[in-house]
Every structure is written in structure tokens, then in C-alpha cells.
Amino acid sequence: MADALGEILLTEEQIRRRVAELGRQISADYAGLELTLVCVLRGAVVFLADLIRHLSLPASIDFMAISSYGSDTQSTGVVRIVKDLDDSIQHRHVLVVEDIVDTGLTLAYLLDNLRNRSATSVRVCALLDKPARRRVPITLDYVGFTLPDCFVVGYGLDFAQRYRGLPHVVVLSPEEVCPRG
């Protein structure tokens, strides 16, 4: 398993510090309000668990599972809801918690879907952003880190359901070119 891993892009400490900063920023922006965090499964669950501990406001959580990858490293472009929300988000302030945004196709689909459910507001907090791969315009309200165009795993992100438990973010393989920005 370790042979497939390349360069560490984000250390455990870098991630820990940035998640705490995001928690403080979100808490300030939503002060006096109750927030519903919608975690996009499965990759964002580690990020969500750490993020919610840094919020200083009332927050509920719900989960959605969206698929556009299968077991490949490239999005198929076909988005499907695998698991829907359990609770209504009508008249709620919703913060979508995503692990990574690249093409934006999956997130655009998800945001349209959630906005059609009469939420008071819908915003996005993504741990990782890969704008070089963007195919549709998307607004990310909170971003942990911006990455170059390479396939990464760890801290919840996987390849074929492997590597999610790594405490850092790492390039999948040493052969993969990951240019520094």
C-alpha cells in the first residue's frame, strides 16, 4: 500500500491548524444562527468530524452520498444521489461540507438540488479545491487548501476505498506529476 503513495502535500499539523481556522471563521459568519452541516459522504466525514468540534454555534448534521467517480480517478460526469438527506432543510442555513472540488460538476448538481428544497441559505466549505480542473463556475465560500491538478488521497479521500485513514494528504503515486503552483 505504501508503495503507491508519493509526496505528502499537506501534513497532519497543517490540516489541523486550517480546520480550526475554518471553524472560527464559520462560527463568526453564522453567529446567532443555527447551522445545518450537510456532509458529502464518504470523503468529507473526517473533515466534518474535525470541523464541527471547532464550531461555537448550534449545528446539526445530515449526510448525502453522491457518486460520479466509481473506482476511477476521473469523474464520469454522471451524478447520482446514492443516499439522500434524512431531515428537511427547508428554512435552514445549510453549509455543504465537501472533501474536494475539482470539475465542479458534482457540486453544481448538489447545490441545485439543495436550493430547490427551500433552504434559507446554502453555502460550501471544501477542504480542498483544484480550480485547474473546473468545468463549471462554482462558488466556494470556505476553502481549506488550493491544490495543483494531481490525484490525492488521505484525510478521508480515497482511491478505490483505500487510504481514507491517512492523517495527511498525499499524492497517490510517485509516477503522477503534481506541479507546484
Task: Sheet with 8-10: list strands edge to edge.
Answer: 8-10, 169-171, 152-153
Q: How many CB atoms lie within 10 A of CB 49?
A: 14
SS3 40: strand
Q: What is the mean pLDDT of residues 112-137?
A: 95
More confidently predicted of 173 and 157:
157
Given the residues 99, 102, 129, 158, select the one marked as catalytic: 102
Determine the pLDDT at residue 69: 54
Residue 140 has pLDDT above 60, yes or no: yes
Scan for cell 433552504, then name that residue.
Answer: 119
- DSSP letter at 30 equals T
Task: Report all structural domains of the chain as residue ranges with CATH numbers, in order of start.
Answer: 13-151 (3.40.50.2020)
State pLDDT tens for residues 44-56.
Answer: 999 999 999 999 9
First to last CA, the chain: 28
State pLDDT tens for residues 145-161.
Answer: 999 988 999 999 998 88
Residue 176 has pLDDT above 60, yes or no: no
Please state whether the predicted TM-score (pTM) of the whole model is above 0.85.
yes
Give how far Cα 122 sits from Cα of 34, 73, 180, Å: 13, 28, 32
Determine the pLDDT at residue 137: 93
pLDDT band at 77 (very low <50, low <70, confident <90, very high): low
Dihedral sign of CA atoms 166, 172, 177, 181 in order: negative
Active site residue 102: yes
State pLDDT tens for residues 119-129.
Answer: 999 999 999 99
